[in-house]
Amino acid sequence: MPPLTRIVLVGPPGAGKGTQATRLAGKLSVPHISTGDLFRANISRQTALGKRAKVFMDAGHLVPDELTIEMAKDRMRQPDAENGFLLDGFPRNVSQAEALDELLKTEASKLDAVLDLEIPEGEIIKRIAGRRICRSRSAHVFHVSYSPPRKRGVCDLCGDQLYQRDDDSEETVRKRLEVYYTQTEPIIDYYKTQGLAVTISSLGSVDEVTRRALEALKREDDDE
């Protein structure tokens, strides 16, 4: 049996966590388990957990920890996660991290590593606040600095207007960061005390960050 690969991916909004989670899960041959996918899957299948979560989501509230934990537990027990998983968006706070530890103990298992994607706040704001979306149904994505349209405010592909989503505004990004710093960032110190957390820079190209992450995970494996 190959070595178990049980990883938690942590990073602020704008760090490229979703992109890296998909790439790393593919290269490590483990399922990418994100809270967003968990919620959507349970709601679409109308599971008991999904119905309970939908009540909170429809009201604009966060899904309570106990529901998120139950969904994660159910997903991690599925056959494709037998040899490992990559968790993205869970745990989102120390209480969930403690619950995950207890859950894995009952499964006679443990985490292998917690990968922390680090990025300066100024770069986060530049990445997200500079994003522009086409109003067409295709919703083509541009960036004022990294991939600007040939004509300002106009989509290169269909000629429709480009706009900034409300949740991409600098004010909203700063609020999202404050939530991250308050709720999620403390889990990095929690896992550092267990010798599990490894921090890498998420600056550079997507390929560079993926390579950096795989090297960091290999070093963690070599240290054990």
Measuring CA to CA, how many Å separate 197 from each of 42, 118, 162? 30, 12, 39
206 Cβ neighbours under 8 A, 6+ residues apart:
16, 19, 20, 23
Which residue among 17, 23, 127, 212 is the active-site one? 17
Which residue among 51, 77, 135, 165 is the active-site one? 165
CA-nearest of 93, 101, 117, 100 to 182 is 93
135 catalytically annotated: no
Which residue among 75, 127, 131, 132 is the active-site one? 131
Which residue among 23, 75, 92, 126 is the active-site one? 92
17 catalytically annotated: yes
48 Cβ neighbours under 8 A, 6+ residues apart:
none
DSSP assignment, residue 59?
T
92 catalytically annotated: yes
Which residue among 40, 52, 176, 192 is the active-site one? 176
150 catalytically annotated: no
Cis upstream peptide for 64 (omega within 30°): no
| Residues labelled as active-site residues | 17, 92, 131, 165, 176
